[in-house]
Amino acid sequence: MNYIQQAYTGKIKWFHWVFTILLVFFGWQIIGALPLMGLGFVHSANIAEFTKAAEGSFMNLGIDNNLFLFFMILTFIFGLISLFIGVKYIHQRTFTSLVTSRKSIDWKRFWFGFITWGIIASVLILIGIKLSPENYVWNFKPIPFYTLLTVSFLFLPFQTSLEELLFRGYFMQGLGILAKNRWLPLVLTSVIFGLLHGANPEVQKLGYISMVFYIGTGLFYGVTTLMDDGTELSLGLHAINNIVAAFFVTTNWSVFKTDALYVDISEPSVGWEMFFPVLVLYPMMLFIFSKKYGWQNWVEKLTGKIEEPTNIKDNYDILDNNEAK
């Protein structure tokens, strides 16, 4: 049984999907925002300042960068908990079925994606600094930086996991069984994932050409998920991508201002680093994954039809036996 078909292991009436989406929105954007609002209120001199700061998500109140980052991540943790509750108790299926088509989560896959992309992303950033050293200022401050490292490695994976399990997981599976194919959920989740990043300051500074990167990244994660019949690789990729981005380089206009090693002081512009990952690195990573995990039948896995399985247990056994070969 393939990854999208995992949705058939639970309740799939329209109201199960609607209730779960509402629950995730409520947990993520309302309940999850309460601690951040409380933090903003404490750092505001009066109600007028609080109201004005709320329009910018309280980023301009002089809150410690690491503390603000933690409270931002906390909203995603509440969203992830809400997604777990929705899958477990509304759809009445295992959370593992949202993560993978395997009987259990393959953590080796997660760590392979995590480590491989961590090395590549770090090298790419260092090359950028080496080529244009005038654009970067050394910003190392021991206590803030090591605090950032701790927050990033311990908590940023919760943020990225919600995004992956919501887009490449929940929406991919739901749209897949609705459309009865694979290509439509792949395209839609990638485009929506990219468009939702349109509110980021980076997009406002660089223009909508930067959406090529966000949509391309969503497509990369989506192809990886469908070809591998699980989100383990994309979970690892997304987690280390945001971790490296957080602690290596920061700017005064990015979505997260952190106590990173370097501050990019250059004027915002669209350069090679915007397109290089999409056009070169992502295809290279797909090639590496395909060789390591024996991916085949690309056209079928990315565009094929989705049918309701007749015997869920037998299909699990077939998948496990194929991977054991």
Given a cut of 80, whether residue 26 has pLDDT beyond it is yes
Phi-psi region of 254 (alpha: psi -120 to 50; beta: other; left: phi over 0): beta
pLDDT attached to residue 318: 43
Q: What is the pLDDT of residues 54-89, one digit of tens each?
A: 877 787 788 899 999 999 999 999 999 999 999 999
Q: What are the residue ranges spanned by the domains of the chain?
A: 4-324
pLDDT for 51: 87
pLDDT the model gives residue 323: 56
Q: Say if CB 299 and CB 154 are below 8 A apart.
A: no
Could you tell me the sign of the dihedral formed by the alpha carbons of 127, 128, 132, 135, in that order?
negative
Q: How far apart are CA 226 and CA 181, in angstroms?
A: 12
- pLDDT tens track for 188-244: 999 999 988 877 777 777 777 888 899 999 999 999 999 999 999 999 999 999 999
Please choose, from the candidates 13, 9, 21, the residue with its C-alpha nearest in 3D space to the C-alpha of residue 171: 21
Q: Are 41 and 214 in contact (CB under 8 A)?
A: no
Q: What is the 3-state secondary structure of the chain?
A: CCCHHHHHHCCCCHHHHHHHHHHHHHHHHHHCHHHHHHHHHHCCCCHHHHHHHHCCCCCCCCCCHHHHHHHHHHHHHHHHHHHHHHHHHHCCCCCHHHHECCCCCCHHHHHHHHHHHHHHHHHHHHHHHHHCHHHEEECCCHHHHHHHHHHHHHHHHHHHHHHHHHHHHHHHHHHHHHHCECHHHHHHHHHHHHHHHHHCHHHHHHCHHHHHHHHHHHHHHHHHHHHHCECHHHHHHHHHHHHHHHHHEECCCCCCCCCCCEEECCCCCCCHHHHHHHHHHHHHHHHHHHHHHCCCCHHHHHHCECCCCCCHHHHHHHHHHHHHC
Per-residue pLDDT, 317: 47
302-315 pLDDT, tens digit each: 999 999 988 765 45
Q: Please, what is the average pLDDT of the chain?
A: 91
Q: Is the pTM of this model over 0.85?
A: yes
| Number of other residues whose CB lies within 10 A of the CB of residue 274 | 17
pLDDT above 80 for 118: yes
Task: Report the pLDDT averaged over residues 108-126.
Answer: 97
- Using CA atoms, how far apart are residues 171 and 77, in angstroms rounded to an integer? 18
Whether residue 113 has pLDDT greater than 80? yes
pLDDT over 70 percentage in the chain: 94
Q: Which single residue is written with the structure tokens 């259990």?
A: 104
pLDDT of 270-294, one tens digit each?
Answer: 777 788 999 999 999 999 999 999 9
Q: What percent of the chain has pLDDT over 90?
A: 75
Q: Which residue has the higher pLDDT, 324 or 40?
A: 40
Q: Summarize the confidence of residues 142-166 as an average pLDDT.
A: 97
pLDDT on residue 312: 64
Q: For position 313, what pLDDT does the model report?
A: 56
pLDDT over threshold 80, residue 161: yes
Query: How large is the average pLDDT for residues 85-96?
Result: 98
Distance CA(123)–CA(87), nearest Å, equals: 38
What residues pair up with 249 in beta bridges, in sequence order? 262
